[in-house]
Amino acid sequence: MRYYRSSLSLLAACAALAAPVALAAGGGGGGGGAPPSQSSYDPTIDYKKGAEAFAAGRYAEAAKALKRVVAAVPRNPQANYLLGASHLAQGDYSRAVKPLETAVRHDGKMIEARRDLGVVQARLGKADKADRELQALRMMQEQCAVGCSDAAKLADAIARLEAAIAAGPQARAAVAPDMRLPSAAALDPIYVAAVALINEGRYEAAIAKLDAALWAAGPHPDVLTYLGFANRKLGRHDAAEAYYRDALAIAPTHRGAIEYYGELKLERGDLAGARAHLARLDAICGFGCNEADELRRWIEEKAPSAG
Amino acid sequence: MAGALALAVPAVPAAAPPPFETLRWTAPGAELAALTTQPAACLGTASVEIQAGEALFNSPRLLGGQAAKAGLSCAGCHVNGRDNAHFLMAAVSDRAGTADVTHSFFGAARGNGRFDPVAIPDLARPGKVSRDSAGGALESFVRALIVDEFAGREPTPAMLAAIAAYVRAIAPCPDGDPPVRRALDDQLRLTVSALRGAIGMARRGDAAAARALLAAARHQLGLIAERYPAPPFGAERRDLLAASRALADLDGKAADGDGFTTALSTWRAGFENGLAQRLRRHEARSLYNPANLAFVAPQQDNR
């Protein structure tokens, strides 16, 4: 377990989850006043196991770990994709469909998920559904300006899916997943860069970095919280809310998620909801915390008589 | 609680996270040193203003953004106003004792787009900024650090003056600066300094500074709680929490002149004569005692 030094732990200082990458030392100091109510399950641990097994080609082992992640964080696109791709690699196309569909539903821009979902549908003889993914990829290709970073990946995905559709359900060759995961060692620099981008107001770029962090770390509440924050700043309130809820499902006392979700509620005009979040922070932060200060300030500024 | 306390500090399960804030930015292998020792500080006789400055210097909530969320104060890098040879944060440091202070991670205003960590300076030594109180260069520098580098809220002039007074008072010790042991008294002293400062700020009508100092005091109570794990110190932890919440209740009354200062004085007297005494009696069994920190060592470098 890694509990110090990680820059990810800076936000995690607010989290009450003992995560493998960013460890929140809750409980003391300026941290949580109350003992941290640790989540009984940390999905990032199984994600790491699953990702390592996946990268090593041990797909059955990967699927076993990733199933547990998906059960805990059903909307996580990365875990769903890796689970689906693990089934696909084992030739279990029927089982691959649902997680790949989930990955696509929650991250429509995930090229690998659309490609592999299309391949799976082609193998299952569902040409219409395979074609739907092909069309989606082609649309992404059209929207991808000349020289856009995904151009080559999109062209390759389309070619592979076209071949799979042409081969149909008679194809017998195994489908080897084509997905290179960032190493866990890359996580801190990615995360620090993402937070720096957020501080600079470059939210789209930050989201791209945070997505990369999700591939490296799995559904980490710190990363999910900042994805919520960046989406909120871009006005995507529903997406932001989903990220905050996911973060809090994993780490119910995550200070950052509680604060930012409270701010979102305030932006939506839900003063009572924001005040409930502040009360929650005050309960958690027995020795005070920046998150409570900030949310209190927001409430006082937006509703001076209600602070 | 008597007899059972022979085992004052229970073994901490290997998988449990350490409850120490400072380990968030401590280099692997230096945990025990960081928890048990600190650079010496020789302030001499400190005025109330200097005490207030030191309390603010040790308060994460003086800063904003990532630092404040993590519990990182000025003293995180400058322990006792000196340096911190053990400071290490991934992608912010390149080796222990360094930090990239122009990284947008902490605040965008001073971000330069380059990874260029520098050695954390010892504030007891002459630096690049004049300490001369006449020009106000130090106050301007400190303000820029708080607001620009660490995305903190604008400090009041009195807060800046207090921090600058503290920084000017930091000096090398005549005996060659041997590291000194960390102790409960560090936190008790800073708690009282914060309260004295809060009273002083309230008397001059600076409610914002008084509130900042209340926050500083509460933070120190939290640091004490880190060293008194439950069991066996459940009662002390509960009382520390209650003491902190009592200070929180005073936050909204900082502009209330005499009422506020009287309440703070009452709180302080109760704390010093009650809970502080109990904590002192139990200090040898607490995690301030290096002998009780053996569980920290096996967790070194287990990334």
Give, for all 307 residues of chain A, the pLDDT tens digit. 333 345 554 444 333 322 222 223 222 222 332 223 334 688 999 999 999 999 999 999 999 999 999 999 999 999 999 999 999 999 999 999 999 999 999 999 999 999 999 999 999 999 999 999 999 999 999 998 777 888 999 999 999 999 999 998 887 777 777 778 887 778 888 999 999 999 999 999 999 999 999 999 999 999 999 999 999 999 999 999 999 999 999 999 999 999 999 999 999 999 999 999 999 999 999 999 999 999 999 999 987 654 4
- A188 in a structural domain: no
Rounded to whole angstroms, the maximal C-alpha distance in chain A is: 70
Q: How far is CA A87 from CA A30, A77, A146, B10, in A?
A: 45, 15, 34, 46
Give Cα A101 to chain centroid, integer Å: 16
Alpha-carbon torsion A159, A165, A167, A169, what sign? positive
At residue B13 the predicted structure's pLDDT band, cuts being 50, 70 and 90, is: very low
Which of A1, A38, A290 is the best mutation test for B, with the most CBs of B within 10 A?
Answer: A290
Distance from CA of A283 to the nearest CA of B (A): 10
Distance from CA of B67 to the nearest CA of A (A): 7
Residue B215 CA to residue B153 CA, distance in Å, equals: 14
CB B9 within 8 A of CB B35: no
Same domain, A152 and A254: no
Question: How many residue pairs from chains A and B have C-beta atoms closer than 8 A?
Answer: 165
Distance from CA of A4 to the nearest CA of B (A): 4
| Minimal-distance CA residue of chain B relative to A193 | B105
Residues of A in contact with B104 (CB under 8 A): 195-197, 199-200
Identify which of A7, A11, A199 has the shortest CB distance to residue B89. Answer: A7
pLDDT at A304: 64
Residues of B in contact with A196 (CB under 8 A): 103-105, 108, 111
Sequence ranges of the domains in chain B? 26-182, 183-287
Q: Does domain B183-287 have CATH number 3.30.1340?
A: no
Same domain, A137 and A228: no
- A129 in a structural domain: yes
Whether residues B107 and A291 touch (CB distance < 8 A) is answered with: no
- The number of domains in chain A is 2
pLDDT at A64: 98
- A165 in a structural domain: yes
- One DSSP character per residue, B197-234 reads HHHHHHHTT-HHHHHHHHHHHHHHHHHHHHHS-TTT-H
| Minimal-distance CA residue of chain A relative to B244 | A287
| Minimal-distance CA residue of chain A relative to B24 | A4
The C-alpha angle with vertex B257 and arms to B254 and B258, in degrees rounded to 5, equals: 120
Same domain, A233 and A136: no
Distance from CA of B73 to the nearest CA of A (A): 10
Whether residues A25 and B20 touch (CB distance < 8 A) is answered with: yes
Whether residues B299 and A3 touch (CB distance < 8 A) is answered with: yes
- A4 in a structural domain: no
* CATH code for position A286: 1.25.40.10
Same domain, A134 and A225: no
Greater pLDDT, B111 or A268: A268
CATH of domain B26-182: 1.10.760
pLDDT at A148: 82
| Cα-only R_g, chain A | 21
- A203 in a structural domain: no
Residues of A in contact with B19 (CB under 8 A): 25-28
| Minimal-distance CA residue of chain A relative to B231 | A35
- 3-state class of B98 per DSSP? strand
pLDDT above 50: residue B16: no
Distance from CA of A164 to the nearest CA of B (A): 42
Per cent of chain B over pLDDT 90 is 70
- 3-state class of A37 per DSSP? coil
Question: Any residues with CB less than 8 A from the CB of A153 and at least 6 apart, and which?
Answer: A111
Distance from CA of B46 to the nearest CA of A (A): 25
| Minimal-distance CA residue of chain A relative to B217 | A287
Range with the lowest mean pLDDT among A168-177, B57-66, B201-210? A168-177
| Environment class of A41 (CB within 10 Å of its CB; exposed 0-12, middle 13-18, buried 19+) | middle
pLDDT at B170: 93
Does this chain's domain B26-182 share its CATH topology with B183-287? no
Residue B67 CA to residue B34 CA, distance in Å, equals: 19
- Residue linked to tokens 């920290």: B296
pLDDT digits over B144-177, tens only?
999 998 999 999 999 999 999 999 999 888 877 7
pLDDT above 60: residue B222: yes
pLDDT at B52: 98
Same domain, A164 and A55: yes
Same domain, A157 and A218: no
- 3-state class of B292 per DSSP? helix
Identify which of A5, A14, A286 has the shortest CB distance to residue B89. Answer: A5
Residues of B in contact with A195 (CB under 8 A): 66, 104-105
Q: Which domain covers residue A78, as residue numbers?
A: 43-170
Whether residues B72 and A255 touch (CB distance < 8 A) is answered with: no
Residues of B in contact with A3 (CB under 8 A): 17-18, 23, 299
Which of A1, A10, A297 is the best mutation test for B, with the most CBs of B within 10 A?
Answer: A10
- A112 in a structural domain: yes
Residues of A in contact with B299 (CB under 8 A): 1, 3
Distance from CA of B65 to the nearest CA of A (A): 8
Whether residues B17 and A24 touch (CB distance < 8 A) is answered with: yes
Q: What does the block give as tokens for B22?
A: 């400072």
Same domain, A163 and A67: yes
